[in-house]
Amino acid sequence: MPDLKDKIIVALDVDSLREARYFVDKLYPQVKIFKVGSQLFTACGPAAVKMVQRKGAKVFLDLKFCDIPNTVSKAVESAKDLGVYMLTVHTFGASRQALRAAVEAAKGVNSPIIIGVTLLTSLDKKTLNKLGVNRLITTEVLVLAQIAKEEGLDGIVCSPREIQYIRRRFGKEFIIVSPGIRPKGARRDDQKRFTTANEAISAGADFIVVGRPILEAKDPLKAVEELV
């Protein structure tokens, strides 16, 4: 059984390379995967990815590509050239052709894991209804996961609330990445669908993404230890 620490992805949701480097230096090698998302990548670009890699850690590039197939294909090719371990594309609002293009672009040497984002953990039923989505959240996530599976993606991102249903439907080989992780008693922030790390792992998550509970802790390394 893999070490629980190997399942933790720390989200480097900060504004500068200096801040990002501080957390990588502090947490590696206890944390082996770091998420570079829109906030850090917009501020620092590929330099953020390379900084993490130079330390010896892996990069989860969470830019949620969603565009016409050609643009998605080129974006995935660029991410592949950067040597990222895993990256995200959107399934909610994306065409099947775009998802297929992402999978094709990722093939070959240094192929990254392609993960489809289903419904953001900040969304709830009321918000989805306003967007014209009237299915239950679990049903919608299962539909999006089915599309991801059919188009050849390696797995999905979903909230901890949907993990058990995805695992039951798609088996052990389909990768589940779960954000929305909060320690017991922690504030929710903008998360609507969340659980503790233990609950997410027990439900079948392959990876959990944790940001603010670690970044805002007085002792980030201790916060990681407490999660496991």
Is 222 labeled as catalytic in the residue annotation? Answer: no
Identity (one letter) of the amino acid at 14? V
Residue 174 CA to residue 155 CA, distance in Å, equals 5
Active-site residue identified among 35, 64, 149, 192: 64
**Residue 141 exposed, middle or buried by CB count within 10 Å (0-12, 13-18, 19+):** buried
The residues annotated with a catalytic role in the active site are 64
